[in-house]
Amino acid sequence: MKVQIWANLGVANVERTKAFYTQLGITKNAGHESDELASFIFGDEGFVIHFFKDDILKENGMKGELADLSKGNEVIFSISAETEAEVNEWAKKVEAAGGNVFDPPRAFQGMYGCAFSDPDGHKFNILKWK
């Protein structure tokens, strides 16, 4: 059996989400977008994140309320970097695109990295193992 896993997240504004991840250079998932969905492919292994309009995800996927990201966390996605300079560049690109770098680039626990949230509060970190 072949298994593929992907993530579905809710967003308030699909167009803003499309613009944010496009500006970061993330590849669009061709054929998987509409007024209610933005879809992107992350990393070399092709991990897909679908960003559904909040009400669509609540009604058709979750069958309930979505997490209030202003009050807590849902998950943090990790993206690998090859160099410290690449981590620093990610931080600059995120801020320029309208994201929030809530943990600036720094060395910690054998890594160098930073963490950010997108305009809807979904969290990512960029990590370079030392």
What contacts 24+ positions apart, CB below 8 Å, involve 70-77?
A: 70/121, 73/123, 74/9, 74/122, 74/123, 75/7, 75/123, 76/115, 76/123, 76/124, 76/125, 77/7, 77/42, 77/49, 77/122, 77/123, 77/124, 77/125
pTM for this model (two decimals): 0.93
Domain borders along the chain are 1-65, 75-130
Four-way CATH pick for 1-65: 3.30.720.120, 3.10.129.10, 3.60.10.10, 3.30.1330.10: 3.30.720.120
pLDDT digits (tens, 9 = 90+) for 17-67: 999 999 999 999 999 989 999 999 999 999 999 999 999 999 988 888 899
In the CATH scheme, what architecture does the domain 75-130 have?
A: Roll (3.10)
Of the pLDDT bands very low, low, confident and very high (cuts 50, 70, 90), residue 130 is confident
pLDDT digits (tens, 9 = 90+) for 70-113: 999 999 999 999 999 999 999 999 999 999 999 999 999 999 99
